[in-house]
């Protein structure tokens, strides 16, 4: 929550994009206390393509009416970084234990061991 608070105070618009069911995502993110930080919670059910398909990311960009170059995917899944990169987005990889950057894709723009570490790096820009 501290990282989300920091990102929100810095003026970032945050969105969740999940391969999961919309109703489940809404419930999970509400119960965890994360939903109030998010402008949208979006399931790929609306797109008909699972991440890392580019259509999943462009759906979010179109929904927000934002250019890919002005958006960043923060994720702990290497395949999510690859998909967002293919959509033209900036990326930040959360290098949690057991998570790895996909070796055959373009690397992330930022890396941190937690979302808070990434938020701190973003506040330096």
- Residue-wise pLDDT for 65-120, tens only, equals 999 999 999 999 999 999 999 999 999 999 999 999 988 888 999 999 999 999 99
**Residue the block writes with tokens 């109703």:** 23
CA dist 73 and 92 (Å) reads 6
**Is the separation of the CB atoms in 112 and 91 below 8 Å?**
no
The CA–CA distances, whole Å, from 86 to 1, 28, 51, 52, 107 equal: 29, 28, 11, 9, 11
pLDDT at 114: 97
Enter the pTM of the model.
Answer: 0.94
Check pLDDT > 80 for residue 125: no
């Amino acid at each position: 929550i501290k990282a989300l608070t920091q990102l929100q105070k810095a003026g970032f618009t945050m969105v969740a994009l999940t391969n999961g069911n919309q109703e489940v995502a809404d419930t999970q993110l509400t119960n965890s206390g994360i939903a109030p930080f998010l402008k949208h919670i979006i399931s790929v059910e609306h797109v008909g393509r699972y991440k890392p398909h580019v259509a999943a990311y462009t759906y979010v960009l179109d929904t927000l009416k934002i250019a890919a170059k002005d958006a960043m995917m923060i994720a702990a899944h290497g395949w999510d970084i690859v998909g967002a990169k293919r959509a033209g987005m900036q990326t930040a990889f959360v290098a949690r234990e057991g998570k790895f950057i996909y070796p055959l894709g373009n690397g992330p723009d930022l890396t941190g061991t937690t979302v808070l570490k990434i938020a701190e790096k973003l506040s330096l820009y």
